[in-house]
Amino acid sequence: MTLTAIIFAGILTYFTRMTMIALISRDMLGDKIKAVLEYVPSAVFPAIIFPGIFINDFGTFIEMNDPKIFGALVAVIVGYFSKNIIATISAGLVSYWFLIFVVFN
Amino acid sequence: MLTKKQLFTRGMLDISPHMLSVIPFGIICGAIGVELGFDPYLVYAMSFIIFGGASQIVFLQLLSGGASSLVAVASVGIINSRHLLYGAVLSEYLEKLSFIKKLLISYVVVDQGFAESNKFFKKNRNEEFLHYHLIGTGCTMWVCWQIATLSGIVLGSFVPEELGLKFAIPLTFIAIVVQDLKKLDHVIVMITCGLSSLLFFDAPFKSYIIISPIIALFVAALLLRLKK
């Protein structure tokens, strides 16, 4: 029964991926819509970033002194100047670990 | 003009730094599924059939928490509905492909692959075999995701929980959008989306993940109008 649900979830997910690529042609999207679509990365990814930082595993808000906020700020600064993905992720993780294992321990 | 192979390799290279966060997250996903008491084969089947990161965890958590299959399936659909936006952006570059190729390539469209391929497409509009970059990012992600979730299923959570490696996921997306902080309009759109996602976090079926981008895109449309 779980397998059936997985298959349905998979079909649904595949349709979310395929619909716009396979069924929409360029003429169907006007210039205005295309201009708005330029913002898709900036309009979507913060919905993954913000809850990942500010909401904990139990679905509640973290304290304002949570190490994740500091780690995220370090990642933003390092990312902005280094333009390097690995440096951004590592800087965020290392500063987060520094706080939870060294400072708050 | 770059060859198909060069574009594919470029795609692989462009997405590979993200594996620093994707691989630990995949291991965690696999391990959680088994810990929640699901058949290991089913947990793995999800990586193949759904192939959708966080939506796989949500699906299993809902089922193990007693939610109906319908609720679990609907939640996966809503979480993954953001792909509709990625597809709308990519459709412009994939237009020349045959219908069958479009159907096949759709299976490997993922967040990070979309982000990196979209950046590449914008700078290299005139390449003939542009889609090979997307195949490169997508296939790299697919292989790493299968291996990572499978290792999590077989070996359990050998990534210590204390490390808090789930935090690598927001970091990977910070790395994707951080250069757009130079543009004020993008900053406004990002803040709108981020704050909306916190405000609507408790909305049913995890729908914050699509509600907040829609609000943010409305703000983007308003900004475009103001700019004129």
Decide if B99 is inside a domain. yes
Percent of chain A with pLDDT over 90: 77
Same domain, B135 and B216: no
Residues 6 or more apart whose CB falls under 8 angstroms from that of B198 comprise: A50, A51, A54, A55, A61
Same domain, B8 and B76: yes
CB spacing of A47 vs B196 below 8 angstroms: yes
Q: Which pLDDT belongs to residue B137?
A: 98
Q: Read off the pLDDT band of B9 (50, 70, 90).
A: very high
Q: Which pLDDT belongs to residue A27?
A: 73
Q: Span A31-53, mean pLDDT? A: 96
Decide if B121 is inside a domain. yes
Decide if B174 is inside a domain. no
Which of B165, B192, B213 is where one domain is finished?
A: B165
User: Residue B72: which domain range?
Assistant: 4-165
Same domain, B125 and B195: no
Is A32's Cβ below 8 Å from some Cβ in B? yes
Same domain, B212 and B159: no
What does B121-181 look like in DSSP terms, one character per residue?
HHH-TT-TTTHHHHHHHHHHHHHHHHHHHHHHHHH-S-S-GGG-GGGHHHHHHHHHHGGGG
Q: DSSP label at B109? A: -
Residues 6 or more apart whose CB falls under 8 angstroms from that of A68 comprise: A53, A54, A62, A96, B164, B167
Is A2's Cβ below 8 Å from some Cβ in B? yes
Q: What are the C-alpha distances in Å from B153 to residues A54, B52, B146? A: 28, 16, 11
Cβ contacts of B65 on chain A, cutoff 8 Å: none
Q: Give the closest of A12, A47, A89 to B172, CB-based.
A: A89
CA B111/CA B15 separation, integer angstroms: 10
Is B224's Cβ below 8 Å from some Cβ in A? yes
Decide if B173 is inside a domain. no
Find, among A34, A31, A45, A92, the residue nearest to B180 by Cα.
A45
φ, ψ at B224 (rounded to 5°): -60, -40
Residue pLDDT, tens place only, B162-187: 888 999 999 999 999 999 999 999 99
Q: Read off the pLDDT band of A28 (50, 70, 90).
A: confident
Residue pLDDT, tens place only, B50-108: 999 989 999 999 999 999 999 999 999 999 999 999 999 999 999 999 999 999 999 99
CA B203 to chain centre: 21
Across chain B, the runs of DSSP E, i.e. the strands, are none
Same domain, B147 and B205: no
Same domain, B221 and B147: no
Residue pLDDT, tens place only, B111-154: 999 999 999 999 999 999 999 999 999 999 999 999 999 999 99
Q: DSSP label at A100? A: I
Same domain, B112 and B219: no
Vertex B138: Cα angle to A89 and B79 (nearest 5): 75
What percent of chain B is helix, strand and coil (3-state, nearest 5)? 80, 0, 20
The H or E element that residue B45 is part of is helix B40-49
Same domain, B222 and B118: no
Which of B133, B165, B197 is where one domain is finished?
A: B165
Inter-chain Cβ pairs, chain A and chain B, closer than 8 A: 270
Domain count, chain B: 2
B window 78-97, beta carbon within 8 A of A: 80-92, 94-95
Same domain, B161 and B204: no
Q: What are the C-alpha distances in Å from B43 to residues B24, B34, B56, B217? A: 16, 7, 9, 35
Q: What pTM does this model have?
A: 0.95
- Give the up-direction half-sphere exposure of residue B139: CA atoms within 13 A in the CB hemisphere: 15
ipTM, two decimals, is 0.95
